[in-house]
């Protein structure tokens, strides 16, 4: 069918009117219900506070890094998406799977890092970042089995990760219709019987959330954390460690090289840490980094690789 530009523009204007009703979704009482479906006549600055204070979201509200807001935000977003999916489950499944998978990925990475800190488990420096859930699961399992953290070795926990990894191995399958080669992410030969049960997924996410967040509150910077009364209660020390683990070091490390690298990170990233308080010394394991009179971590060499190791906070 061919139409004139005038006919096209008229049709578009008609459709815009029809779609205004959709903007009122989710169609239930809100604090600012009368404003929810508003379509502004001109651009509005989203960084200006509005009169409905509960809708003014504070960014980085829980301090630097703020893993809590990322993880809990994605978990709660999944819960809302899954709940409203009954209205259009074939569409809602796309963000539901993506958000669920992303929550699991963020949580596994957070577990690996924080468990390594509190257990004194070496963290590989300059390790390639991965979005592969099975690889992350194996890292968590390796730590869990070494330190007898049996809930993280439970088959139910592991299968939740496995199934999300199989459904979305690359994290993009439910974000984009096509991959970088232009191929459909979801093949058109998928059998009609292939479904995602969002209620069951919700149950599995509840299980995963309960198990991981109840652990993370003990090993992250919170009032219940074992970081309390240690140098790691300073979030900028944690940020320093995360940055250092992503840096490159020469093969033959020395006290001066490590000290220069640490001070360079503090400078480059404007971390509010006293550079004059940083010093390094060689010990039996490697090069120890000290802040004031507190040991931060030790850089150790194992074969061709370098690792960052803290002093364990959990002891036998």
In order along its 316 residues, the chain shows pLDDT tens digits of: 666 778 767 877 777 777 677 666 666 666 666 677 788 889 899 889 888 888 888 876 656 666 778 888 899 999 999 999 988 898 899 999 999 999 999 999 999 999 999 999 999 998 888 999 999 999 999 999 999 999 999 999 999 999 999 998 888 887 777 778 777 777 766 555 578 899 999 999 999 998 898 988 888 877 778 888 899 999 999 999 999 999 888 777 889 999 999 999 999 999 999 999 999 999 999 999 999 999 999 999 887 899 999 999 888 7
Q: SS3 helix, strand, coil % of the chain, rounded to 5?
A: 50, 10, 40
Token pair 């150790």 is found at: 300
Closest CA relative to residue 161, chosen from 201, 210, 110: 201
CA-nearest of 258, 256, 264, 240 to 301 is: 258
> Quick count: other Cβ atoms within 10 Å of Cβ 9?
11
Q: To the nearest 10°, report the CA torsion of 149, 216, 268, 247.
A: 20
pTM equals 0.86
Q: Which residues pair with 289 in a beta bridge?
A: 280, 297
Look at the block and give the residue holding tokens 């919170």: 222
Tally the C-alpha atoms within 13 A of residue 208's C-alpha that lie toward its C-beta. Answer: 30
Say what angle helices 67-84 and 198-219 make with each other, to 10 degrees: 160
Instruction: Say if residues 308 and 297 touch (Cβ distance below 8 Å).
Output: yes
Q: How many CA atoms lie within 13 A of 302 on its CB side?
A: 10
What is the model's pLDDT at position 28? 63
Task: Fill in the DSSP letter of residue 184.
Answer: B
CB 141 within 8 A of CB 153: yes
């Amino acid at each position: 069918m061919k139409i004139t530009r005038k006919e096209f523009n008229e049709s578009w204007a008609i459709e815009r009117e029809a779609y205004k009703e959709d903007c009122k979704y989710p169609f239930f009482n809100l604090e600012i219900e009368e404003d929810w479906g508003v379509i502004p006549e001109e651009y509005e600055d989203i960084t200006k506070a509005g009169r409905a204070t509960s809708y003014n979201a504070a960014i980085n509200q829980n301090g630097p890094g703020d893993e809590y807001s990322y993880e809990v935000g994605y978990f709660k977003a999944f819960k809302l998406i899954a709940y409203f999916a009954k209205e259009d489950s074939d569409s809602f499944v796309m963000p539901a799977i993506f958000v669920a998978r992303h929550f699991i990925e963020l949580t596994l990475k957070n577990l690996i890092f924080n468990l390594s800190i509190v257990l004194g488990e070496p963290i590989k420096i300059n390790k390639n970042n991965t979005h592969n859930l099975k690889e992350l699961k194996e890292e968590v399992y390796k730590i869990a089995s070494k330190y007898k953290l049996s809930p993280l070795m439970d088959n139910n926990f592991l299968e939740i990760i496995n199934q999300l990894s199989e459904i979305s191995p690359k994290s993009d399958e439910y974000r984009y219709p096509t991959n970088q080669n232009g191929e459909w992410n979801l093949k058109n030969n998928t059998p009609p019987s292939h479904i995602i049960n969002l209620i069951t997924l919700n149950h599995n996410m509840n299980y995963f959330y309960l198990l991981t967040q109840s652990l993370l509150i003990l090993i992250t910077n919170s009032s219940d954390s074992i970081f309390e009364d240690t140098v790691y209660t300073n979030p900028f020390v944690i940020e320093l460690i995360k940055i250092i683990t992503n840096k490159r070091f020469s093969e033959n490390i020395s006290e001066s090289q490590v000290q220069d690298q640490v001070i360079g990170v503090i400078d480059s990233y404007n971390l509010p840490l006293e550079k004059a308080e940083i010093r390094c010394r060689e010990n039996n394991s490697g090069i120890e980094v000290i802040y004031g009179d507190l040991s931060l971590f030790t850089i150790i060499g194992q074969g061709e690789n370098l690792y960052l190791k803290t002093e364990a906070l959990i002891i036998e």
